[in-house]
Structure 1
Amino acid sequence: MLKRFLIASLAIICSFTFSSQVNAASNQTHTVQKGESLYKVGKQYGISAQQLKAMNHLNKSMIYPGQTLKLPVMLNASEKNLLARLVEAEAKGESYAGKVAVATVVLNRVESDEFPDSLRGVVYDGTQFSPVLNGTIHQAASRESKRAVNEALGYQGYDRESLFFYNPGKASSDYLSSREVTTVIGNHVFMR
Structure 2
Amino acid sequence: MKKIISVAIIAVALISGTGKSAFAAESYKVESEDTLWNIGKTYGVSVKDMKELNNKSNHLIFPGESLKLPEPVSENEKEVLARLVHAEAKGEPYEGKVAVATVVLNRVNNETFPESINEVIYETSPGGVYQFSPVGNGEINKPADKEAVKAVEEAIAFRGDGNNSLYFYNPEKTNDQWIRTRNVTTVIGNHVFAQ
TM-score, normalising length: structure 2: 0.66
Residue 4 (structure 1) aligns with: none
Q: Is the 8 A contact 2:83 2:142 kept in 1?
A: yes
Q: Residues 106 and 54 of structure 1: is their aligned pair in 2 closer, same or farther, counting only changes over 3 Å?
A: farther
User: In the alignment, what sits opposite 2:178?
Assistant: 175
Report the 3-state secondary structure (helix = DSSP H, G, I; strand = E; otherwise coil) of the residue aligned with 1:174: coil
Tell me which residue corresponds to 1:86. 84
Q: Deviations over 1:1-34 (max 9, x none)?
A: xxxxxxxxxxxxxxxxxxxxxxxx5xx1559xxx
Correspondence for 1:111: 109
Q: Distance in 2 between matches of 1:105 and 1:185?
A: 13
Query: Cα RMSD over matched residues?
Result: 3.0
Q: 1:97 to 1:170 in 2, by over 3 A?
A: same
2: distance between equivalents of 1:177 and 1:73? 35
The equivalences for 1:145-184 within 5 A come to 145-184=148-187
Q: Is the 8 A contact 2:107 2:114 kept in 1?
A: yes
Over 3 Å counting, the alpha-carbon distance change for 1:77 and 1:191 in structure 2 is same
Larger radius of gyration: 1
What residue number does 2:66 align with?
A: none
CA distance in 2, matches of 1:97, 1:49: 18
CA distance in 2, matches of 1:125, 1:108: 14
Structure 2: gaps (5+ residues): 6-25, 29-38, 59-68, 125-129
Query: What are the equivalent positions in structure 2 for 1:132-147 lying under 5 Å apart?
Result: 132-147=135-150
Secondary structure of the equivalent of 2:187?
strand
Aligned match of 2:19:
none
Aligned residue for 2:79, secondary structure, equals helix
The count of residues paired between Structure 1 and Structure 2 equals 147
Unmatched segments (≥5 aa) in structure 1? 1-24, 32-42, 62-70
Q: Which amino acid aligns with 1:103?
A: A
CA distance in 2, matches of 1:188, 1:55: 32
SS for the counterpart of 2:160 is: coil
Post-superposition Cα deviations, 1:55-101, rounded to whole Å, max 9, x if no partner, equal: 79x9957xxxxxxxxx9783111111000000000000101000000
Give the Å deviation of 1:44: 3.7
- Conservation of the 8 A alpha-carbon contact between 1:72 and 1:157: no
1:122 and 2:120 equivalent?
yes
Between Structure 1 and Structure 2, the one with more helix by share is: 1
Runs of 4 or more, structure 1, over 6 Å off, are 53-56
Per the alignment, residue 48 of structure 2 pairs with: 51
